[in-house]
Amino acid sequence: MPFCYFTLKASRTAVRLRKLVQKGFKLTPVTLGQYLRSRRLVLKLTQAQAAERLNTLREHYERWERDEVAPTASFWPRLVGFLGSYPGAVRTPADQVLMARRMLGLSQFAFGRRIQVIAKDVREWEHGVSQPSPAMLAKIQQLMSATMPEK
């Protein structure tokens, strides 16, 4: 004859979150791979399905998710669309330049041509070796606002 009766209660959300965390879900992702994995798990997709949505090979997607390689510039607009926002913090001018180039899906050379500077300057800005002038930052922000869709 049992002497103790108890009931464990947990909300469905808590149970689902625990399962997601066990699979590698991060509440505060840091790397692109963590952002991709967390988003894929929330959407209940396999890696193959996520790769199909991004129009890439499953092998490429797996390597992005494991942070083995970074996607090429042309994939960034699709990645941002898949994730729903730009992954990562934009704190410095270097971060702003990098985000603008990625959101447009351009190489450093193509981005430099778009804003009428040489690719070396773009590379140095992105790596924090030098900083764009305030006028150039304004030009980059204007280019971003002109190409991004209205919400």
The verdict on residue 66 lying in a domain is yes
Q: Which residues contact 81 (CB under 8 A, 6 or more apart)?
A: none
- Enumerate residue ranges in the chain where pLDDT < 50: 151
3 located within any domain: no
Distance in angstroms (rounded) separating the CA atoms of residues 114 and 96:
16
Which residue is associated with the tokens 């994730």?
A: 83
Instruction: Give Cα separations from 94 to 42, 89, 98, 110, 114 (angstroms).
Output: 31, 11, 6, 17, 17
Neighbour-count burial of 6, counting CB atoms closer than 10 A to its CB (0-12 exposed, 13-18 middle, 19+ buried): exposed
Q: What is the amino acid identity at position 72?
A: T
Distances in Å between the alpha carbon of 20 and those of 16, 48, 80, 129?
Answer: 6, 18, 22, 40
**99 and 79 inside one domain:** no
Half-sphere exposure at residue 107, Cβ-oriented, CA atoms within 13 angstroms: 5
CATH number of the domain enclosing 142: 1.10.260
Domain span at residue 103 reads 93-147
Domain count along the chain? 2
The predicted-structure confidence for 60-88, as pLDDT tens digits, reads as follows 999 999 999 999 999 999 999 999 989 98
CATH of the domain at 78: 1.10.260.40
Burial of 13 (0-12, 13-18, 19+ CB in 10 A): exposed
Give the count of beta carbons closer than 10 Å to the beta carbon of residue 28. 6
Enter the tokens of residue 17. 């979150």
pTM: 0.77
pLDDT score, position 7: 60
What whole-number percentage of the chain has pLDDT above 90? 66
